[in-house]
Amino acid sequence: MGYFIKVQPDVKLFVEDLNPDSENTIVFLHGWPGSHELFEYQFNDLPRMGYRCIGIDQRGFGQSDKPATGYDYDRLSDDVLCIIETLQLKNIILLGHSTGGAIAIRYMARHKQYQVSKLVLCAAAAPSLIRRSYFPYGQKKSDIMGIIKQTYEDRPEMLREFEKQFFYQSVTDAFSDWFFRLGLKAAGWATAEIAATWLREEALFEDLRKIDAPTLIMHGIHDEVCYFPLAKAQQQGIRNSILIPFEKSGHGLFYEEKDKFNDVLTSFIESEICE
């Protein structure tokens, strides 16, 4: 079941809501530059296991409205709050992949973990996607600026190049075309603005220390987008967290090791504590 929810007077976001009668709710925040459809291989299985799966297309992406502004982590986390309040969700699992992970972290800090019982970070773009003087593990600033420049000059080619970094395992030509089309659904300006957000000092280091909900961190050791040391920094920053490395995955661990991903996720959800 899909519908739109107003998060600002002139902005509506698309929400995919599967198995809405279940009280076991997982809210999925996708990464750049895709949509909720990236989680297809979770949505295939988890609703049949009794979970309610809510996939949100962030503003500018998928089927959501594509305004010119609002692509900082504060506004994006406020969008998530609007959806949680509108749907009257309680005791949810909040799951974020890549940039969606950064948004989830900001949500937890900015909105004091409102209605979230557990947090799941998957290849999260946090605490910083780029290298800084105090954090030498991220992408070069010049590489991200190159992505922004290419987005405005030849976005289809940028997306093709980005896919080469995304997956560690080989994918079929058909899957590659599907992944490419997801990126094309986004607005060019939204694609560039999110990339520009990565360059800002977004204080996610401080946000990590404000999280005390049980947190699962899943990260591919071959990730060429959000390098594996980012996951270690997340574990160090979140006091009640566990890190599960994915030995055969890059940035697309939800597909490259989808069975392990789903198994680890559901085991974490069903456990009483974060061990």
Q: How far apart are CA 143 and CA 124, in angstroms?
A: 18
Q: Are residues 183 and 34 in contact, defined by beta-carbon separation less than 8 angstroms?
A: yes
CB 9 within 8 A of CB 76: no
Per DSSP, the three-state class of 26 is strand
From the list 98, 128, 241, 249, the catalytic residue is 98
> In whole angstroms, what is the distance from residue 87 CA to residue 165 CA?
36
Catalytic residue among 57, 65, 207, 223: 223
How far is the C-alpha of 124 from the C-alpha of 31, rounded, in Å? 9
Q: Which amino acid is at 235?
A: Q
Asked if 223 is an active-site residue, the reply is yes
128 is annotated as an active-site residue: no
Taking each helix axis from N to C end, the angle separating 173-184 and 141-166, rounded to the nearest 10 degrees, works out to: 140
Catalytic residue check, 111: no
Q: What amino acid positions are annotated as catalytic residues?
A: 98, 223, 251
